[in-house]
Structure 1
C-alpha cells in the first residue's frame, strides 16, 4: 500500500506539476503523522534487555559450500565443505592467503553474502544447536573498509549509533554513559573529540578508525561479533591494539570470529582457535596452540625462533612465481587438504557429542527484535548529523565560495556595464547562458562527488536497521537548503550589478530566485545520478555528460523550432532550458535596444528578441514551474531508487543430506504425534 501511494505521488508530480509541491508536502506530512503513531512494544524492549544479559552463544557450521557460475558456464568453487565451530570466550581466527575464501566465509557466517543470480550457497549454520534462522541473536559485523561521516567526532559518531540502535527505553543519560564507557574500553579517550577525517582533513589514525568501527557495532550489544581483516593497512602497533580489543571482548563472554591475513607472532599468540584456508578448502581447524604440532605430524616442521603465523601462511600458499613452484606448492596444499579430510570425520563426531552436551547450558534468545526510535526522532538526529557534515566541511565551502566569487568577477569584467544597444543583445544572451551553466554545474559536480560515498554509508547503516530512507532523505534535503541558496546567492549578488542587467529591484529578486531554484534542481539531478550510478567515478562521469545534453537543448545553441520533433522532449527535461528561458524573459521583457552604429537608425524590442528565441509565450513563473517539476521528479526518483536498493543477501540452501535428515525428522515427529493421538482415542 505504501509503495502504491509513493508511485501515485510521483505520477502526480510528473503529470500535474502545478500541484506537485502541495502533493509532495502533503504526502510527506501524512507519512510523518502516520509514522509518529508507531511505538516500540515495551514487552520487546524488556525481552531484549533480559535476553542480552550475560548471553553466550556458540556458532557451528557444517558442509558450507559456495560456488559461482561465470557467463561462459565455468563454475568456480569459493568454499568447499567447510565445517567448524566458534565458542564463547574464545577468539577464532581465520587465516589464509589472498583469495583463499576468508571474506567469503565471514560473509557467509554473518549472512551478509550479496545476492547474486548465479551464486550457489549451501550448508547449515547452528547457534547453540538451533538453526540460525530460528535462533535470532544479536550480531555485529566489522567490515574491512571503515566508513564514517568525516566531519563528525568519535563521540558524536557513537552517540548517533546509540540513539538509533539502543533500545527506546534507554534515556539520553544512559546512552551517554554507555558511550563514554565504550570510548574508555576502546582506548579512544584522547581522540573522543577528534573528527574522523578524510583526504581533505586529517583525523583519526587507521587503528583508531578500526576501533571506532568495532565500537559502532558494540553499541547494539552483540553477543556474536565478526571482523573481516581488521588489521589490514595498519602498522604493527595499531594492529596489536585492535586485536587486543577483540581479545578483551572474548574475555567478556563474546563469541568473536576474525579473518586475518598474516599476523605478527604477538597477535598469533592471542588466538584461541584457528582455521586455515587455501583455495576455498579447509586445511586445519582447532586450537591455535596445537596447529604447529598438527603439521609436524604431517612432516612440516616450523624452524626455531620463526614466526608461526608466517610459517603457516607460507605452508598453505600456492607460489605462482614459476610453473615449477606452482606445481610443487599446489601438490603440497592438496596433500594437506587430503590429510585434513581424513581426520575430519572423527573430529565431526567429537564435535557432535560435545554439542549435544552443551545444548542445555547455552540457550539462544528467542526474540531479539531491534527497537527503532520514532520517525520524527530519526529525522531530527539525521538532520543534525547532515548539518554538521555540511557546515564543518570548510575545505569544500571555501572552494565553492572562491569558485563562485571568481566566476562572478570574471563575468563582471567581461560583460561590464552593458548598454541598451543592439550589439549588447548578444552579450546579454551569452552572460545569461554562462550564468545558467555555472550555477548548474557547480551544484551538480559537488553532489555527484559527495553523494555516492554517503550513499554507501547509508546503505550499510540501513542493513543494520538503524533508520529508514524517509527520515534520512528529508533530513538531507533540509540540511542542504542553506548551502544550496548560499553559493548561487553570492554569485548573483556580485554578477548582477557589475554587468548592468535590468535595473529594477523586482527583476533582481527574480534573478536571485531563479538562480537558487536552478541550484536546487541541479543538486537534485546529482542525487538522482548518484543514486543510480554504481560508483562515485561513474556518477562524476555520467552527471556532466547528461548536463552537456541539457545545455545543447537549452535554447541558446539550438532554437526550439529547429529541433527535430523526435528530440523536442529533451528540452522539456532540461533544467538549463528552463533557467535560461526564465533569465531571458526576466531580462528582455519591456526593454528596447537601439542601433548605435553610425549612419543607422532603428530599434529592437526585448519581445522581439524573445520571439527569435521561441520564448515569446513564456513567463518567469512558467519556467519556475518547469524547474520545480524537474526537481521534484529527481527527488522522487532518488527516493525510489534508494528504497529499492535496500541490502539483499543470499539465502543459504541446505545440503541434500541435511534436508533429507530434516524432512525425515519432521515426518517421524508427525508419525509419533499421530500414533499418540490414536492411542489416546483408543484409551478414551
Structure 2
C-alpha cells in the first residue's frame, strides 16, 4: 500500500513542472495545502504497460448452423482452438481464436501480450475496429476494468517506472467516458464549480479562478451560462457537451488524461476542435491517451503515437509520422495518397485484405521487434515516482459532500419540476375523486335492522381506507421509480471519478426527493378529511389521519427509491411495482376476510403495509363512531395503532437499507 508522506517531507521535495507553454522548469517547495495542490499539477507522467493479457470465460455452448460446423468445432476444440462463425453480408468468414487454460478454466484472450507506452506532452491514439480490444485496454490503463465473473488480467502496468494499483490512478489521472453524462438543468460554469468543490481543497477564490481558467482553456465562454439541456430542453451542442465533460475531469489539472472515443457522434469540424483542444493540453506537459475509430487525416496528423489493435493483437505501435516508412521496412505496401488511419483500420479488420500471408499475430511480432522507449524515459530522469506526493489528498469531509450534493439535488429538482407538478396534479385529482365517491362517508352509521345496508356501509368504509392508503404508495413510488434511473448514469460517472462516497450520494438524493414530494400526503390528507367528514373532527384526529398517509408516502418513496437503485431501467421498476401492489392488495384484508383466510393470504397480510395502514385509517375514520369495534372485528383489524405504526416504520427502514445495500453493491464494481 502507498502511504502519504508527512508535510515536512513534502517541504523538502523539489518538483519538476510545466508552464502554460510546455517549458519544463523546477518550482520552489511549498508549505501550504493549496501550494501543494498547485505543485501536483506540475508533475509529468510516463505510463508504460508490458505483456497485458485480458481473459474472459470461453462459451461452453455454441450454436451451429450445420452438423459439419459442430464437428469441425469439436476437432478444433481438441487442438486448443475454437472457431467462431462471423457473418459479413453474403460471405461467411471463419476466425479461429485461441483459448487457454487459466486456473483450470477455458478462457478467451481479449488482449494478447499488449505492450506500449505514452509520454508526457504527447497524444497516443489507440485505433482498431469494434471488438479489437480498444476499450478493454483503455479500462485497464485507467484502472476501471469491471471484471465479470471468471475474468482475469495479467501483465505489468507502470507509471513513472512504478507499478500502480487501482487507488493510484486518481492521484495523477482522469478519465473521460464516451457518453456525455451531465445534469441537464445545470450550466457548464455550475458543473465545473461543483466539481471544483468536490475535488479540491482550494479556497473559494482559487476554485473560481480554476473554473474560469478551465472555461477559457476549453473555449466555453460563450455557453458557460447555458443549460446542458436534454430531450425536452434545448441546450448545449454536442461539441460543447464534450468539452464540458472534459472540463469536469480537467478541474484537478491531471497529469494523465484518458478519453474513450472523444469524437464519437460529432461532425468532422467539431471532432477536429476536440482533438486540437487535447493537443493544446499536451503543450502544457499532459499525457493524453484516447481511443478513436476512424479519424480524418487532419485529426490523424495531430497524434504523436499510434497503437493499432486487431483482435487483441498489436499490429502497429509507433510514431504516427513514421507509419509509412515502418510498413515499407517490413515489406507491406503502403498505398499512396491514402489516409494512414484508413489503411490502419483496414489492416486491423483483416490483415489478409492487405496481403494474403499477413496475420495479426505476425504483425504483432514485427511490432515487438521494432518497439522501443525514448532514451530520456529509460532511466526515469526528471519523473517523480512518489504518487503519495504527486497525489495530494483532496478529499473533503462527509458533511461537505452531503451539503454540496443536497444543494445540487434540490436545485436539479426545482429546475426540473415535472415530477412535482405531476404529483401536485394527481393529489388534486385524488381529492376530487375520493370526495365524489365517498362524500360524508364518515358520518354513516350501522343500522339495527337493515343488514344489507350494513354490509354496503362496511364495504364503503373499507374501500375508502384501502383506496386512501394505497394511493400515496403507488403515486410517490412511481414518481421515484421514474426519477432515480435518470440520475444513475451521472452517479456512476462521478463515483468512478471519486467525487463522493456512496452514502453521501444516497442520503442526498433520498432526502431531497422525499422532501420535494412530502406535500402530497398533506394536500390529500386535508382534502379528504374535510370532504369525508369523520365524526371526530379534532386536530388530534386530523394529525393522525395525515400521519398515516405520510408514512405510506415514505414507504412508497423508499420502495421506489429501492427499485431505482436495484434496476437501471424504469420499465423494470414499474413492472416490479405492479406485481408488488398486487401482492400487497391481496394481503390488505379488504378483498379476503383475514379471519377465514388460508395460510397464503395470512402470510401476505403480514408483509403488506396496506393491511397495517388500513387498520389505523379505519380507526381514525370511525373514531367516536359506535360501529368502530364492529367494523374492526369484522375485518380482523385488531393489532392496535401502536403495533401498526411500528410495522409501517419498519417498512421504511427496510426499504431504505435494501436500497442502500443495492447501490453499494453495484458501486463496488465502479
Indicate conservation of the 8 Å contact 1:100/1:279, yes or no: yes
Give 1:74 shift: 5.0
Q: Does 1:61 align with 2:49?
A: yes
Output the CA distance in 2 between the equivalents of 1:201 and 1:496.
Answer: 39
What SS is found at the alignment partner of 1:316? helix
What SS is found at the alignment partner of 1:81? strand
Q: Does 1:420 align with 2:454?
A: no
Q: How does 1:286-301 map to 2 (within 5 A)?
A: 286-296=318-328, 298-301=331-334
Output the CA distance in 1 between the equivalents of 2:502 and 2:164.
Answer: 28
Indicate conservation of the 8 Å contact 1:590/1:607, yes or no: no
Match of 1:115 among 140, 147, 170: 147
Give 1:569 shift: 4.4
What SS is found at the alignment partner of 1:351? coil
For structure 2, the residue ranges without an aligned partner over 5 or more in a row are 11-32, 61-104, 446-453
Q: Which of 113-122 and 631-640 deviates more? A: 631-640
Write out per-residue CA displacement over residues 460-485 of structure 1, whole angstroms, 9 at most, x where no aligned residue.
33333322233333333332343231
What SS is found at the alignment partner of 1:93? strand
Q: How does 1:559-598 map to 2 (within 5 A)?
A: 559-565=593-599, 568-592=602-626
Write out per-residue CA displacement over residues 256-277 of structure 1, whole angstroms, 9 at most, x where no aligned residue.
0000111223222221111111
Q: Give the structure 1 partner of residue 424 of structure 2.
A: 401
Assess, with a 3 A threshold, how the Cα gap between structure 1 residues 476 and 53 changes in structure 2: closer, same or farther.
closer
Q: Which of 531-540 and 146-155 deviates more? A: 531-540
Give 1:47 shift: 8.4
Match of 1:106 among 130, 135, 138: 138
Output the CA distance in 2 between the equivalents of 1:495 and 1:397.
Answer: 20
Q: How does 1:437-586 map to 2 (within 5 A)?
A: 437-502=470-535, 504-506=537-539, 507-533=541-567, 535-565=569-599, 568-586=602-620
Give 1:173 shift: 1.1
Q: How does 1:269-418 map to 2 (within 5 A)?
A: 269-296=301-328, 298-304=331-337, 306-318=338-350, 329=353, 335-348=358-371, 350-351=372-373, 355-357=377-379, 359-367=380-388, 368-418=391-441
Give 1:172 shift: 0.8
Write out per-residue CA displacement over residues 47-100 of structure 1, whole angstroms, 9 at most, x where no aligned residue.
843652421111111111111113516532211111111111111111111111
Write out per-residue CA displacement over residues 479-505 of structure 1, whole angstroms, 9 at most, x where no aligned residue.
234323112323333344344455614
Indicate conservation of the 8 Å contact 2:440/2:533, yes or no: yes
**Which structure: greater helix fraction?**
1
Write out per-residue CA displacement over residues 386-416 of structure 1, whole angstroms, 9 at most, x where no aligned residue.
2112222122222222223223323333334
Indicate conservation of the 8 Å contact 2:239/2:266, yes or no: yes
Give 1:296 shift: 5.0
What SS is found at the alignment partner of 1:555? coil
For structure 1, the residue ranges without an aligned partner over 5 or more in a row are 1-39, 319-326, 593-604, 650-684
Write out per-residue CA displacement over residues 404-440 of structure 1, whole angstroms, 9 at most, x where no aligned residue.
3223323333334446154343233222222222211
Write out per-residue CA displacement over residues 538-582 of structure 1, whole angstroms, 9 at most, x where no aligned residue.
333323322321222122123333344466444333222222222
Output the CA distance in 1 between the equivalents of 2:437 and 2:339.
Answer: 70
Assess, with a 3 A threshold, how the Cα gap between structure 1 residues 572 and 160 changes in structure 2: closer, same or farther.
farther
Q: Give the structure 2 partner of residue 632 of structure 1.
A: 653
Q: Does 1:52 align with 2:73?
A: no
Output the CA distance in 2 between the equivalents of 1:489 and 1:198.
Answer: 33
Indicate conservation of the 8 Å contact 2:262/2:274, yes or no: yes
Indicate conservation of the 8 Å contact 1:70/1:118, yes or no: no
Assess, with a 3 A threshold, how the Cα gap between structure 1 residues 555 and 96 changes in structure 2: closer, same or farther.
same
Assess, with a 3 A threshold, how the Cα gap between structure 1 residues 87 and 391 changes in structure 2: closer, same or farther.
same
Q: How does 1:186-335 map to 2 (within 5 A)?
A: 186-296=218-328, 298-304=331-337, 306-318=338-350, 329=353, 335=358
What SS is found at the alignment partner of 2:579? helix
TM-score (structure 1 length as normaliser):
0.79
Output the CA distance in 1 between the equivalents of 2:374 and 2:310.
Answer: 25
Output the CA distance in 1 between the equivalents of 2:253 and 2:59.
Answer: 42
Assess, with a 3 A threshold, how the Cα gap between structure 1 residues 522 and 219 changes in structure 2: closer, same or farther.
same
Assess, with a 3 A threshold, how the Cα gap between structure 1 residues 520 and 125 changes in structure 2: closer, same or farther.
same
Assess, with a 3 A threshold, how the Cα gap between structure 1 residues 396 and 194 changes in structure 2: closer, same or farther.
farther
TM-score (structure 2 length as normaliser):
0.80
Give 1:333 shift: 8.6
Higher relative contact order (CA 8 A, sep 6+): 1
Give 1:126 shift: 1.8
Output the CA distance in 1 between the equivalents of 2:210 and 2:290.
Answer: 25
Assess, with a 3 A threshold, how the Cα gap between structure 1 residues 333 and 164 changes in structure 2: closer, same or farther.
farther
Q: Give the structure 2 partner of residue 618 of structure 1.
A: 640
Assess, with a 3 A threshold, how the Cα gap between structure 1 residues 106 and 408 changes in structure 2: closer, same or farther.
same
Output the CA distance in 2 between the equivalents of 1:126 and 1:576.
Answer: 58
Output the CA distance in 1 between the equivalents of 2:603 and 2:630.
Answer: 25
Q: Which of 373-382 and 453-462 deviates more? A: 453-462
Output the CA distance in 2 between the equivalents of 1:380 and 1:41.
Answer: 29
Output the CA distance in 1 between the equivalents of 2:265 and 2:643.
Answer: 55
Assess, with a 3 A threshold, how the Cα gap between structure 1 residues 624 and 69 changes in structure 2: closer, same or farther.
same
Indicate conservation of the 8 Å contact 1:316/1:333, yes or no: no
What SS is found at the alignment partner of 1:560? coil
Q: Give the structure 2 partner of residue 430 of structure 1.
A: 463
Assess, with a 3 A threshold, how the Cα gap between structure 1 residues 493 and 223 changes in structure 2: closer, same or farther.
same
Give 1:354 shift: 5.7
Write out per-residue CA displacement over residues 176-215 of structure 1, whole angstroms, 9 at most, x where no aligned residue.
1111111121122222222333333333332222212211
Q: Give the structure 1 partner of residue 628 of structure 2.
A: 606
Output the CA distance in 2 between the equivalents of 1:575 and 1:300.
Answer: 74
Indicate conservation of the 8 Å contact 1:317/1:333, yes or no: no
Q: State how many pairs are aligned.
A: 584
RMSD: 2.9
Assess, with a 3 A threshold, how the Cα gap between structure 1 residues 303 and 394 changes in structure 2: closer, same or farther.
farther
Q: Does 1:182 align with 2:214?
A: yes
Assess, with a 3 A threshold, how the Cα gap between structure 1 residues 616 and 62 changes in structure 2: closer, same or farther.
closer
Output the CA distance in 2 between the equivalents of 1:283 and 1:118.
Answer: 28
What SS is found at the alignment partner of 2:175? strand
